[in-house]
Amino acid sequence: MGFFTNNVSLSNPGLNVKSGNTITAASLPILPLGVTGIQANGYKLPTAYQYSAGVQQALGRKTILSLAYVGSQNRHMDYYQEVNLPPFSSLPALIISGGSGINQLYNYAGYGAIGLAENGQNGRYNAFQVDLHGNVRHDLQLQFAYTVSRAVDPNAGGNGSGETSTTSPTRTRGGVITLVRLHTIALTSPS
């Protein structure tokens, strides 16, 4: 299969990328209805716990050292599981046919996407923070801050929407979230 050279524009999104022809309603397949539902049995309320503990100590007259531990635990977070997918091996033929015959390949004929909301994901965030704040002179302040943290979420690496692309997402193991910085250092001198 070659690369497509035609471009779809916002002014004409109804352009067939493969042929360059305008897409009409008559040429589109009639796709079955999509449904999103909730787990019927044992749906638990999503819960988040946040906590922190810290101490501050004066080091001389002009310097304060702060140490803190912060964290959160997330329990029973939602994810969406697609339960009506055509077999993976039939995808190339579906693409070539423009989706014709997709309804016969679904586990539940007559329906398209069936997203089942379940709440089996758990996540956590833990961090240790150090802050050293002091006055060097009456017009000069210095601050040093350091944070080491770790966040784990079963949907790490996803698009953040809570949607999973598999039919059996991992519930017990998670990945480190890529948007969280594990080490953060700041040195400031406000003017």
pLDDT digits (tens, 9 = 90+) for 77-96: 887 788 888 888 888 888 88
Token reading at 12: 């004409």
Specify if 109 maps to a domain: yes
Domain limits for position 48: 37-188
| CA gap 79, 164 in Å, rounded | 7
pLDDT of 1 reads: 43
Token reading at 124: 């956590």
Tell me the average pLDDT of the chain: 75
- Where does 8-110 show beta strands of DSSP type E? 33-38, 47-58, 63-82
Specify if 26 maps to a domain: no
Most confident of the following: 70-74, 84-88, 185-189:
70-74
Specify if 30 maps to a domain: no
Specify if 17 maps to a domain: no
- Number of domains comprising the chain: 1
Specify if 156 maps to a domain: yes
pTM of the model: 0.56
